Structure 1
Amino acid sequence: MNCEVVKDLLPNYIEKLTSSKTNEILEQHFKECPSCARERDELLSEVHADTIPDMLDMKKYLSKTKQMYLLKGIFSAILGVGLITSLIVDIAINHKLTWSFIVAIAIAYVGAGLLTAQLSSSSKMVKVIAVLSVLLIPLLYGIEYIVNSNYAARPFNWFFSYELPIAIIWLVILWVVIIIRHTARLSIWNFIGITLLLASAGSLLNNSVALKMSIWKVLTIRYNWINAVIYIACAFCCFLIGYIRKNKEMK
């Protein structure tokens, strides 16, 4: 068998597609022809180099997947045990279900986020935040309803007065931050600076709702304007760091 034929058969030989008889002939040729033997060794080393990383990657993937499922199982077990325990204790003490409903809806809230992460193949964090944002307001209303039904001598009316507007304020700020992060090409320092400014505005609006005062009156309270100054100062520092780093990169 000449070298040209051997070289044509080498790929099949490496892939173990040749017959045993052909293998014997090829191996005999390799003993007699150093050039073909060297080419065979080179091909084998390339295949070996390609295969080992793939196997290592697969092992890492399987190990990571196993750990992920283990963590999910542990977390689910903790939530389940917490729910069952709260139901048992609630019934034992109150002879009916009262505060355990709060535990149940809180667990359902967390579970919805976990389920969303599990079912999502891309943009998991955004989808999880979207689901939790939608469910936050029903969660708050449910907690107030349970408290009013079981504990309050006089029903609270906090949901529409405080909880809903404050939740909307922070949800809007959260989604503005997410949109900025995904659309604007900002450095991490500029992004943090903008986030701090939005948080400062959110804090003022939050206190305005909580105290039933205008923002200008809120600013007259010492700790509020100090808080705002700290936010703005930190944001300025972030912008300054971003500017300095950008200039260094340009040089």
Structure 2
Amino acid sequence: MGFFDKIKKAGSDLMKDGDIMGKIRKGEPLTDEELSFFNEKHPNETQEEIKQKYDDQQTLKQHKAHKIGGLKFFTDERGYYYFSNSKELTGERYYLVGFDWSGPQYKVTSTTVTTGQDKQKGKKGSTLGGAAIGSIIAPGVGTLVGAAVGASGKKKTDINRKSETTSTQEELDTTAYLIFVEKDDKRIKKDAITCNSTIAKEVNSLTFTSEATALGTAEIVNEPPIESTGNQTSVTDEIRKFKELLDEGIITQEDFDAKKKELLGL
């Protein structure tokens, strides 16, 4: 086979291999001839492995990366959140259930600007000129005349100034917390972020899961159990108990929110 024939065959095989790979990715069956060609070109791979790899790649395209307030995380195709250096299909998945921030804080700076200047009117008398004239006319008298001339001069000052004070405010970066619940073992994960009004808008654009769904059986890791009527109970049970009191009108919404924050350590 000549050189150009080899190039032509290589090109033909490449196109054929591409068509076969396309059928595998779509899940379509191969003919006997295509299967033989595939086994020859890909001895270390199976159709199932290629199909799975392709499906995983398509799934990862649906994942979205986030970097908010210095915290990096991803959203998967089902809406769960996970933490990794890059997109992947394995690892823990979380619900996002809360955003704890005290709100914007500002630094106020005042600046005073003064315009205008002092104006002087009138002239000082010259004692030297008076003394010189007096000396010429009559020695011993000139000093008295000169002093009199100097004392007659006057100086006036007009104040023509204007001050204006302006104040500016700059928002400060403060600390906030994003609260997650692991979807399987229901651990609570609390991550600090740097926050301001702009970052808060980014956070509020994320998808949150209701407490009824995510905190239904959530428990805080390494949190000591709470004593209740002589028996040990979980934080979740305590939250449920106070929620029932709220629903029955025994406590207010404010009381419930305060107690829940206390139990969750917020």
Smaller-chain TM-score range?
Answer: under 0.3
Provide the TM-score with structure 1 as the length reference.
0.23
TM-score (norm 2): 0.22
Greater relative CO, 1 or 2 (CA 8 Å, sep 6+):
2
Structure having the higher helix fraction is 1
